[in-house]
């Protein structure tokens, strides 16, 4: 089955093609137009998607070596995400479906992140535990044997990616700060500063990262700008350790409580090297298999959207793949 996936929920204009669980192409453009604003401007994102989509889709089809007529279906992100950008992707996908005659499916972006793990490890099958860590979401979900989703915990304030981005901003890094912060962290001492780990040992699988943000701001103020700059790598390493540490702790607790032997980690933050290393190490000692997507599939992309549609089609769960966009769609509702 050959599927095209289109992703426009935020500031990545992306398209990709899969043949069953094989990636045929993965093309994306991170919109540069937002850089001077320190965050994503929804109206600019919509216009950029409109401008970039035709070229990105043509390139994704070209690299895959398929034409519109070869497609068995077209999938697009119907939520969660920014309303305008989602509508641009939905309309574009609909036009392509009309032109090609291929069926059209609306897909949950978070299921897309999860499908990225299966695209990298096709023998992944439920039951397993999933840690979703992106710029907008931080969730621990149980995927039961029948493929249904059961939420175990979520962030009560900032998402893990947001924690990287907001603390990075305090430290003077550009947006999104996650990748740069983790690069700088490699040269720093993770034990240099003891930053808080929210909701530690509270018995829940929930997270809270807002306290970390305030603690970093206070530390930078206490050090003064010059010293803070001089100790940037130590600050980054310690921030990363606080975020990764609590993610690992809670994920292991949830895996133990659900008695699973497989954990899948997905979303933009799953590209983080320290998270990969710590969770894999901890898993080894407990007989837990920890699976990540290939790094090229961790952050937003269109290939994972095609994968999410494929997973639903294979398991016959096609009921929730409507065309209506829903900016607040949650994992498990679609
Ligand atoms: O999944 P994603 O591409 O978009 C959303 O759906 O939100 O995730 C983007 C988030 C950003 O917050 C970014 O800073 C973070 O993922 N991120 C990272 C790394 N790469 C991306 N955070 C930490 N370390 C990384 N290597
Ligand atoms: Zn995402």
Closest CA to 289 of 154, 77, 162, 121: 121
The pLDDT assigned to 333 comes to: 58
CA distance 49 to 36: 18
| Shortest-distance atom of ligand 1 to CA 240 | 23
The pLDDT assigned to 68 comes to: 96
- Of 268, 270, 297, 302, the residue with max ligand 1 atoms within 8 A of its CB, to mutate for a pocket test, comes to 268
Burial class (CB in 10 A: 0-12, 13-18, 19+), 143: buried
* pLDDT per residue as tens digits for the range 164-186: 999 999 999 988 899 999 999 99
CA distance 188 to 191: 9
Buried b (16+ CB within 10 A) or exposed e, 312-329: bbeeeeeeebeeebbeeb
The pLDDT assigned to 35 comes to: 78
Question: Residue 71 C-alpha to ligand 1 middle, in angstroms?
Answer: 30
Question: Residue 144 C-alpha to ligand 2 middle, in angstroms?
Answer: 22
- The rounded percent of the chain whose pLDDT value lies above 90 is 92
| Shortest-distance atom of ligand 1 to CA 136 | 7
Cα–Cα distances (Å) from 311 to 167, 178, 201, 305, in that order, read 36, 29, 35, 10
* pLDDT per residue as tens digits for the range 100-135: 999 999 999 999 999 999 999 999 999 999 999 999
The pLDDT assigned to 331 comes to: 86
User: Atom 23 (ligand 1): residue with closest C-alpha?
Assistant: 178
* pLDDT per residue as tens digits for the range 204-236: 999 999 999 999 999 999 999 999 999 999 999
Q: Is the pLDDT of residue 334 over 60?
A: no
When the pLDDT of each residue in the chain is averaged and rounded to a whole number, the result is 96
Question: Residue 268 C-alpha to ligand 1 middle, in angstroms?
Answer: 3
What values do phi and psi take at 299, rounded to 5?
-85, 170
User: Read out DSSP for 117-178?
Assistant: HHHHSTT--SSEEEEEE-SS-EEEEEE-TTS-EEEEEEBSSS-HHHHHHHHHHHTT--SS-H
* pLDDT per residue as tens digits for the range 234-272: 999 999 999 999 999 999 999 999 999 999 999 999 999
Nearest 5°: the CA angle 185, 187, 190 is 55
Q: Is the pLDDT of residue 26 over 90?
A: yes
Question: Residue 256 C-alpha to ligand 2 middle, in angstroms?
Answer: 27
Q: Is the pLDDT of residue 38 over 80?
A: no
Q: Cis check for the bond before 77: say yes or no (omega within 30 of 0).
A: no
| Shortest-distance atom of ligand 1 to CA 113 | 1
* pLDDT per residue as tens digits for the range 52-70: 999 999 999 999 999 999 9
Q: Region 309-319: what's the mean pLDDT?
A: 92
């Amino acid at each position: 089955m050959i599927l095209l996936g289109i992703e426009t929920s935020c500031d990545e204009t992306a398209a990709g093609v899969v043949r069953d669980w094989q990636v045929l192409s993965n093309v994306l453009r991170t919109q540069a137009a937002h850089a001077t604003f320190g965050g994503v401007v929804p109206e600019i994102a919509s216009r950029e998607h409109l401008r970039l989509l035709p070229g990105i889709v043509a390139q994704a089809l070209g690299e895959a070596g398929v034409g519109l007529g070869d497609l068995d279906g077209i999938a697009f992100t119907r939520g969660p995400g920014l309303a305008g950008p989602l509508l641009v992707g939905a309309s574009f996908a609909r036009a392509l479906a009309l032109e090609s005659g291929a069926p059209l499916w609306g897909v949950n972006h978070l299921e897309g992140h999860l499908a990225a793990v299966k695209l990298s490890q096709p023998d992944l099958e439920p039951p397993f535990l999933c840690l979703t860590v992106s710029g907008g979401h931080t969730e621990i979900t149980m995927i039961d044997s029948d493929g249904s989703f059961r939420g175990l915990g979520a962030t009560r304030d900032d998402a893990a990616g947001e924690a990287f981005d907001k603390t990075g901003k305090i430290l003077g890094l550009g947006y999104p700060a996650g990748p740069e912060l983790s690069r700088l962290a490699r040269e720093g001492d993770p034990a240099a500063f003891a930053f808080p780990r929210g909701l530690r040992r509270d018995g829940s699988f929930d997270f809270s990262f807002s306290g970390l943000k305030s603690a970093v701001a206070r530390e930078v103020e206490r050090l003064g700008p010059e010293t803070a700059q001089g100790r940037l790598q130590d600050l980054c390493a310690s921030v990363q350790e606080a975020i990764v540490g609590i993610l690992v702790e809670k994920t292991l607790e949830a895996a133990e409580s659900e008695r699973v032997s497989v954990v899948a980690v997905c979303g933009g933050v799953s590209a983080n090297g320290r998270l990969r290393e710590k969770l894999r190490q901890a898993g080894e000692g407990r007989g837990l298999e920890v699976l990540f997507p290939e790094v090229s599939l961790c952050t937003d992309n269109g290939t994972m959207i095609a994968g999410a549609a494929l997973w639903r089609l294979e398991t016959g769960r096609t009921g929730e793949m409507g065309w209506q966009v829903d900016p607040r769609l949650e994992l498990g509702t679609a």
